[in-house]
Amino acid sequence: MAEHNETGILGEQLAKLALKKKGWTILEENWRTGRLEVDLIALDGDTLVFIEVKTRTRTSFGLPEDGIGAAKEKHLVQAAQKYIQEHKWEGELRFDYVSVLINGREQLLNHIEDAFYPED
């Protein structure tokens, strides 16, 4: 497996553990519908949360969350719409990012709640 894939997997595992420590319930990991994917889907109390995890090993190109653009947000919204439809979800929802910076043995997580709001 390529090193960047291993880094991404480690970042998702660290994000999942951090959310569980907060008392969240992880519903899905790497949930797919067609060509769309959501890294984590979780419940924060009664709120359904779609989470994009972005992991980097250095900041030469900016912070991890800087690598999430409008196209990725659009895909997250499309995937969320499918998930909501399939699971008949009618409650609150939001979109979060978890930014993970891994530098040797040091790991820095930044959980960004309400990272973006979908366009109507």
Give me the CATH number covering residue 53.
Answer: 3.40.1350.10
Answer whether 62's CB lies under 8 Å from 108's CB.
no
What is the pLDDT at residue 51?
98
- CB distance 30 to 37 below 8 Å: yes
What average pLDDT score do residues 53-82 get?
A: 89
Residue 85 lies in a domain: yes
Residue 46 lies in a domain: yes
**CA–CA dist 92, 74 (Å, integer):** 19
Look up the pTM and report it. Answer: 0.91
Tell me the residue range of the domain where 88 lies.
Answer: 3-112
In a domain, 120, yes or no: no
Contacts of 104 (CB under 8 A, 6+ apart): none
Residue 63 has pLDDT above 90, yes or no: no
Specify the number of domains making up the chain: 1
DSSP 8-state secondary structure symbol assigned to residue 18: H
pLDDT category at 120 given cuts 50, 70, 90 is low
Q: Answer whether residue 11 is part of any domain.
A: yes
To the nearest whole percent, how much of the chain has pLDDT over 90?
70
Domain presence at residue 119: no
Whether 37 is in a domain gets the answer yes
